[in-house]
Amino acid sequence: MASVKSLLCALALVVVTGQAQTQTSPQSTAAPQAAPTPDPAITQIRKSVAFIKLRCRNGNQEVDVRGTGFFVFYPDSRLGATGGFGYLVTNRHVALCWNDLGQPMQVESISITLNRNQPDGDNFAQEGFLNQHGNAPWIVPQDASVDLAAIPLLPDTNQFDLKVISVSMFASSELLKQREIVEGEPVFFAGFFYQFPGTKRMEPIVRQGILAMMPSEKIPFVDISERLYLADLHAFGGNSGSPVFINLSGYHNGSMMLGQDYRLLGVVNGEVTEDENFNLELTTTVLRGKGRANSGVSTIVPADEVRALLDDPRLQKLRDDRFINPRAGLR
């Protein structure tokens, strides 16, 4: 297992800057080489996620919890036209290691797993601790009904096979309304697959379904009413924190948009389960080794809530401090 320093950037403020690079070379009459073909969109989305592992204690019982996180780029013009900050985003109930009663457990350690660009032998997957003796310094929304958490964190993309989702890719409620997005639209997510997370390589699973409900009211969820989307999208243990995407191209608002326009719709945070009497109940989707009957309906925290968390004054202060003290949060 790698040390945290070899795997991750500083846990405080992570700065991302884009710099133009120029090269000079002798003139040649040979035909120019074609630019590398970009990965398919689904492949890029699979590369945006990390597997999160927590070792927690619930009274005298030790519990292993698995979830998913993804990386977001928050632009800041003070760092230049392509500069900004990186964050790891997941659910509050993953980050705080909730038990089945919706109460946080004591976190004894937390780590994430990513794929390297170059293997160590034949092994691409690499796990590293965010904290070997406790939890990471997550920032959660002031509104307890919003099931999200974030920390300033971005691994070295030169070292890790990683894609970052820019906030410009968020499907805000305003954009969904403009495009006349309604129930029935295809959606999909990438996340942790506990039956086979991968041995030599981290292997996120991709699952597809349709947007099932976009209610204007909050939905009761683990004793807290939340603003959520519902999707006919089968999620299960370990999928909590998975990014959910929607393709806004096609025929919308009286016009046809060709190609692909994938946007972040939100974050998986639960599933609708049913008991032997076919009673439905909303539950979280962290993996604790407890089986439930899954109805196939999943709950999604809207992207608007992710943006609101990244705009939170506490995270904004960390960004501002970067310019008051240029060394703040950097190693």
Distances (CA, A) of 91 to 27, 215, 328: 53, 20, 27
Sign of CA pseudo-dihedral 91, 238, 236, 104: negative
Distances (CA, A) of 166 to 73, 75, 246: 4, 8, 15
The answer to whether the CB of 244 falls within 8 A of the CB of 188 is yes
User: Residue 287 pLDDT more than 90?
Assistant: no
Say what the pLDDT of residue 255 is: 62
Tally of domains in the chain: 1
Q: Say which residue the tokens 């025929």 belong to.
A: 251
Say what the pLDDT of residue 63 is: 92
Say what the pLDDT of residue 317 is: 94
- Asked whether residue 20 is assigned to any structural domain, the reply reads no
Q: Other C-beta atoms within 10 Å of 171: how many?
A: 24
97 token code pair: 């290691």
Say what the pLDDT of residue 254 is: 60
Report the C-alpha gap between 61 and 65 in whole angstroms. 13
- Asked whether residue 25 is assigned to any structural domain, the reply reads no
Report the C-alpha gap between 50 and 242 in whole angstroms. 9
- Asked whether residue 204 is assigned to any structural domain, the reply reads yes
Q: What is the mean pLDDT of the chain?
A: 81
User: Residue 289 pLDDT more than 60?
Assistant: no
Say what the pLDDT of residue 22 is: 27
250 token code pair: 């096609």
132 or 253, higher pLDDT:
132
Say what the pLDDT of residue 65 is: 92
Say what the pLDDT of residue 259 is: 64
Say what the pLDDT of residue 30 is: 37
Residue 302 belongs to a domain with what CATH number? Answer: 2.40.10.120
Q: How confident is the model at residue 44 (pLDDT cuts 50, 70, 90)?
A: confident
89 token code pair: 């985003």
Range of the domain at 65: 4-14+43-324
User: Residue 136 pLDDT more than 70?
Assistant: yes
Nearest to 209 by CA among 268, 275, 292: 268
- Asked whether residue 49 is assigned to any structural domain, the reply reads yes
- Asked whether residue 63 is assigned to any structural domain, the reply reads yes
User: Residue 222 pLDDT more than 70?
Assistant: no
